[in-house]
Amino acid sequence: MTDPTYLLDLAFPQLQAWLAARGQPPYRARQLWRQLYVNLAGDFATMTDLPAGLREQLAQEASCRALARREEKVAPDGLTRKGLFELPDGERLEAVLMLYRERATVCVSTQVGCAIGCPFCATGQDGFRRDLSAGEIVEQVLYFGRLLRQAGQDWTGVTAVTNVVLMGMGEPFANYEATWAAVERLHDPDGLNLGARRMTISTAGLVPGILRLAEESLPVNLAISLHAATDALRDRLVPVNRRYPLDELFRALKAYTAKTHRRVSFEYALIAGVNDAPDQAHRLAARLQGFLGHVNLIPLNPIAGSEWRAPERPAMEAFRAILEQAHIPVSVRLERGVEIAAACGQLRHGRPGSGSPP
């Protein structure tokens, strides 16, 4: 018996072809698409605008869910929720919903684990398992979309996903095809209809992906996990720097900004005694002088087994002051969900035998 077709992996023309092969008229594809991405239906039985016979056939031959929630954790303030999901092959991933007064942001994963291997990141220490498909990426958003539709009014009043950040587990540009297909699906005006500028892709600095993104038609936001201002230190903190060192990375970023005229966000995790010294701040300021960008300083989020910690507040403020004096746009990010290991660098796939922290 063949495995059921996972409909969320199909672009609209593919869905049309799949239904046509089963003798269905063209308009059924639009009905089914709307059920999946507008009504957020997760069960064929609820798709009552489809004939009963088609619903039965879909239940036998297709699937619209690949993620099975195994655990959910809620931060003490109720504004951050993390889900641990299991896929049909037994692999696991985490995704996070962050609630604000007027928006709901979902942080999605693009891979199970990560091959970059940053020593301060729990995901990297767990190792790489596999890429996620476009449907598996999109379904993370659909899951939280359903949750918001059911209960959002009781939380902050926001009842739909407003923003998506591809900053969870994995390196999006190492899984470019599926990542971009997911972005297009999320943007589709006949579906979830998320604005391109409400989506952000974060990369550790894969130059080919940056140059490719510059040629795409949708103006999504770009974030760079920088974390160091010198090659010697970044080689240690972000090992992909050995392949794409800072000069090469910034040549690509200058080409990106020249082509798109869009600002780049630089994520900089401050680690006490490692990358928070004034000389790093001065070097970072020199690197970014005149560049169309903004620095997000992130106090390091703790991971089990690591002795690395965030600097004390005065050291962080001193680092920020150096950037401000050099007229570099900068802010200190207030992390959400640290108490439930849902913040930047804390997500894990939870598989037995995963790598141990440094």
Active-site residue numbers?
A: 94, 344
CA–CA separation, 18 vs 11, rounded Å? 11
CA dist 43 → 59, 131, 311 (Å) = 9, 25, 48
Cβ-based neighbours of 247, under 8 Å, separated by 6 or more: none
**339 bridge partner residues:** none
CA–CA separation, 142 vs 36, rounded Å? 9
Which residue's structure tokens are 């970044």?
234
Sign, CA dihedral 102-158-184-66, equals positive
Sign, CA dihedral 204-207-209-213, equals positive
Cα 95 vs. chain centroid, distance in angstroms?
Answer: 8
CA–CA separation, 246 vs 229, rounded Å? 8
Burial code (b: 16+ CB inside 10 Å, e: under 16) for 250-261 equals bebbeebbeebe
Beta pairing class for 163-166 and 104-107 = parallel
The SS3 call for residue 159 is coil
CA–CA separation, 269 vs 283, rounded Å? 16
Residue ranges with strand state E in 124-197:
128-131, 163-166
